[in-house]
Structure 1
Amino acid sequence: MSIPVFAPWNDPQEKPLIRFKNVTKRFGDFVAIDDLTQDIYAQEFFALLGPSGCGKTTMMRMLAGFEKVTEGTIELAGQDIADVPPNQRAVNMMFQSYALFPHLSVYENIAFGLRRDKLAKDEIDTRVAEMLKLTRLEKFARRKPHQISGGQRQRVALARSLAKAPKLLLLDEPLGALDKKLRQDTQFELMDIQETTGTTFVIVTHDQEEAMTVASRVAVMDEGRIIQVATPDGIYEAPNSVYVADFIGDVNIIKGTAKAAGKDKYYVDWGVNQAPIVANSDRPFTEGQDCFLAIRPEKISITKDKPEEAENAVQGEVLDIAYLGNLSTYHVKLPDGQIIKAQTANTRRLSRRDITWEDKVWVRWTTTAGVLLEH
C-alpha cells in the first residue's frame, strides 16, 4: 500500500489555513513586507527562511497579532484576523528565549495558560499530563526551569505553547540557543511532535539546514518579499534564482552567455580560452543572453586523469581541501582564476589522500548537473 504524499498545495480543492493577500507592512518609510501573497495549509510545517531583516519575523508577528497590517489582509481559517486581538486568535507563539517562569515548576509552566482560561482542575491535569508525555518530560514535572537542561527547557516551552491546542503554532528561531548536536536531535523531535498533534507549525529561521530538515515547504525571503516557495528538495535542486541557489547549501555559480545547442540545450560561453559548457534547461534563453549556471559541488567529479567524456571537463589546480569527515570539498583553481568546488564522499578509510594540494586535476559535470538561471 502506498502512503499518500502530503502536498495540499497541489490540490486545487484544498482551502488554505492561512492566507496572506497583498500584505504590506511599513514602519515609517521602511517597507518591511512588500505586497506579499502566500497560502499556508493545515498540518504544514512551513519555514520562513532568510537573512536578518528580510521580513520573516514581521510576517510572524502579524500572524500573532503583535503588528498591524498596513495594507492587504491576513485570513486564518477563512476569517480576516485584522481586528482579532492576539489573545483571542487560535494562534500561539514560542519565542527564542522560551520565556519560562523561573519560579514555577515545569508542570505549572505548562498549566499557566490553561489556568488563565479557567479550565477545571481535572481538565488541566489531563492536558498537562498529555503534554508532558508528548514532550517526554514526565520525570521533570516538579523541577524548576533552572534545574533542567537547555533542550528540556525548549521542550517545556513547546509543551506550554501546544497545551491550548492552537490551530497554528509560530516558532521564532526556537532552536537558536541550543548547541549544534542538540539542535539536530531537537529538529527531529519537533517534526515528530508536529506530526503527532497535527498542528500547523510556522517556523522562522536563518539556518538553512534547519529549514531543509523540518519543513514541508520552505519560503526563501529577501527584502520583504518571498523569492521562492517549494519543498526542501525543490528549493535545493531547482532554485529559481542565483539568490536562492546561493542561500541554500554550497554552490558554484558560473556566469556566461547562452547559445542554443538543440531542444532544451544550450552552450554557455564563460571562461577565456575555455570550451563552452553544455547545459540542459527547460527555461528558454535567447541568443547571447546573460545566464548563470548553478552547480552543487557534490555533482562535480574530480580526477587526476582526463575524463573520457570531454564535455564539461576542465583542468585546474587544487588550491584548498576542506575535510569534513564524511565529505571532502576540493577548491580547484581554473586557468582564468575562477574557483570551482567539487565534493567527494569519504566512503573508505584512507591513510593518505589520492588528491592533495597543488595537484593538477580535472573537474567534470554532466549536462543535467546544473541549473541554468536568468538572474
Structure 2
Amino acid sequence: MESKPAPAPFAPWEDAAAHPLIRFEGVTKRFGDFTAVSDLNLKIYPREFFALLGPSGCGKTTLMRMLAGFETPTEGTIWLDGQNIAPVPPNKRPVNMMFQSYALFPHLSVWDNIAFGLRRAGKDKETVRARVEEMLRLTRLDQFARRKPHQISGGQRQRVALARSLALGPKLLLLDEPLGALDKKLRQDTQFELMDIQEKTGTTFVIVTHDQEEAMTVASRVAVMDAGRLCQVDTPQHIYETPNSRYVADFIGEVSIIEGRVAALGEEAEIAYAEGARPIVTRTGGAALEPGQSVFYAIRPEKIWVGAAPHPDRINSVEGTIVDIGYLGDVSTYHVRLDTGQMVKALMTNAERYAASRFTWNDRVWLSWSRHAGVVLAS
C-alpha cells in the first residue's frame, strides 16, 4: 500500500503569497498622555490560533478591544479581510468576543443561550435549530441542552460560551482570558478542547492571556508584548528555543541568564563571564557578534545535566553548591550557586522512584551542558 505524503505544516506566515485576515499597520493607541500601543505592525492569518501574551499593562487587551470595536486607534489602520474596520461598529463586524466571565444568561437553558445570537440576527426557526444542534455536538454538550448554567460545571459553562460565540460563524473569535476561572487540571484539559474546536471550525482565534503555558499550548504563533510594543512574534517552539532578547527569554519559562563578553569568535563563540572561570563554549546561532562585545547567555534548566562529576560528553561543565531544591513529582529543580557566585537553575526528570534523593541541600555538584544548549543574546 502506497503511503501518503505528510501534510504540509500550517505556516502561512512563511508564504509570501498568503493574504492575512488581520493587518495592523502603524497602529498607536493613546489614553491621554499614556500610550497603550505604540506604532504596531502585525499580520494574523486565516485559521490561525494566535496568542497575545504579556504582563498586565502591556497593551494586549487594548489590541483585542480595537479588533472588537470597543476602542478606536489613535493612529494607523486595522484591516480585517481587506476592509478598514475603524468606521464599522462592533455589532456589524464579523467578529465575536468571548469574555472570561462567560456572561451566560442564568434564566436561559444551554440550548437557548446558544440560540440567543441567532435569534437576535433574525434567523428562522429551522436554521436556529440546526445550528444550535451542530454547536452542541461540536462542544459535546448534547446531554446538557436543557440545563441552566448553574446546573453544569465551570468547564461546561466555558463550552456553552464558546458555542454561543461560534454559532453565528464569525470570521474571527476573540478570547479574553477564557480559561482564567478554571482550576489548573480543567484548564489544561480545556486547552486541548479549544484547539480541537478551532481546527474543526476553521475560525481564526485570537486569545489574550498572561499564562505562558496556555499560550504555548494552544497557539500556532505567539506575540510577546511589553509596554505597548511587540517584542517577538513567532511559533511557540522558536519563542522558547530562540528568543530574540533577554526580556523574551526571561518572560517565557524558566531560564538562567549569564552576563558576559565574547572572548573568542569563530564557528563557535567563547563567552567569558567571570575572572578565572573557563569560558562557556556555544554555537552563535547566526547572531552577529564581535570580539569583546557584551552579551547575555541564556540557558533553560532542562538543558543542564546534574552530576557528581562532569559529564564526559558535554563541553561545558561548572561546579557549584545546591542552595535550593524544588520537588515537583515528575521533575526536581535545583538552584545551584557556582563558585563564581552565579546562580543557575537545573532540572532533572525523576525517572526512577527515588531519583529525587540523589542530591540534597549543600551538596557539591557539577552542571554540564552542550554547545547547542544555550543561546547568545545581544540585548
Q: Does 1:318 align with 2:336?
A: no
Matches within 5 A, 1:115-130: 115-130=119-134
The corresponding residue for 1:279 is: 282
Q: 8 Å contact 1:8–1:14 — kept in the other structure?
A: yes
Deviations 1:209-231 (A, max 9, x none): 00000000000000001100110
Mark the runs of 5 or more structure 2 residues left unpaired by the alignment: none
Following TM superposition, by how much is the alpha carbon of 1:308 offset from its aligned partner in structure 2, in angstroms?
A: 3.3
Query: How much has 1:298 moved relative to structure 2?
Result: 0.6
Give the letter for the 1:103 counterpart.
H
**Residue 140 (structure 1) aligns with:** 144
Moved over 4 A (4+): none
CA-CA distance at 1:366 after TM superposition: 1.2
Deviations 1:156-179 (A, max 9, x none): 000000000000000000000000
Alignment of 1:50 with 2:50, yes or no, is: no
Alignment map for 1:146-185 (pairs within 5 Å): 146-185=150-189
Change (3 A) 1:220 1:352: closer
Contact 1:259 1:286 in 2 (8 A): no
SS in 1 for 2:323: strand
Secondary structure of the residue aligned to 1:14 is: coil
Once residues 274 and 302 of structure 1 are traced to their aligned partners in structure 2, the CA distance between those partners, rounded to angstroms, is 19
The answer as to 2:99 corresponding to 1:113 is no
What SS does the aligned partner of 1:306 have?
coil
Superposed displacement of residue 352, structure 1 = 6.6
CA shift, 1:309, in A, is 5.4
**1:231 has 2:235 as partner:** yes
Q: Distance in 2 between matches of 1:132 and 1:351?
A: 46
Q: Which segment is superposed worse, 311-320 or 184-193?
A: 311-320
In 2: Cα distance, 1:116 partner to 1:248 partner: 42
Q: How many angstroms apart in 2 are the aligned matches of 1:89 and 1:16?
A: 17
Query: Which moves more between the two structures, 251-260 or 222-231?
Result: 251-260
Percentage of matched positions with identical amino acids: 65
Matched AA of 1:284:
A
Aligned pair in 2 of structure 1 residues 351, 360: CA closer, same or farther (>3 Å)? closer
The residue number in structure 2 matching 1:209 is 213
**Of 137-146 and 88-97, the range deviating more from structure 2:** 137-146
Q: How many residues align?
A: 374
- 3-state SS in 2 of match to 1:313: strand
Q: Relative to 1, partners in 2 of residues 1:289 and 1:118: Cα closer, same or farther, differing over 3 Å? A: same
Q: TM-score, structure 2 length as denominator?
A: 0.97
2:91 is the alignment partner of 1:91: no
Q: Per the alignment, in what secondary structure is the counterpart of residue 188 of structure 2?
A: helix
Cα distance in 1 for partners of 2:310, 2:153 equals 54
Q: Which runs of 5+ in 1 are unaligned?
A: none
Of 224, 230, 242 in structure 2, the residue corresponding to residue 220 of structure 1 is 224
Tell me how far apart the structure 1 counterparts of residues 356 and 103 of structure 2 sit (CA, whole Å): 51
TM-score normalized by the length of structure 1: 0.98
Q: 1:4 maps to which residue?
A: 8
8 Å CA contact 1:26, 1:70 repeated in 2: yes
**3-state SS of 2:288 partner:** coil
Which region of structure 1 is more displaced relative to structure 2, 306-315 or 33-42?
306-315
3-state SS of 1:202 partner: strand
Amino acid across the alignment from 1:121: K
Map 1:218-297 → 2, pairs under 5 A: 218-263=222-267, 265-281=268-284, 282-297=286-301
Structure-2 residue corresponding to 1:335 = 339
CA RMSD of aligned residues (A): 1.1
In the alignment, the residues of structure 2 paired with residue 321 and residue 273 of structure 1 have an alpha-carbon distance, to the nearest angstrom, of: 28
Q: Distance in 1 between matches of 2:221 and 2:339?
A: 40
Residue in 1 that maps onto 2:190: 186
Alpha-carbon distance in 1 for matches of 2:51, 2:314: 41
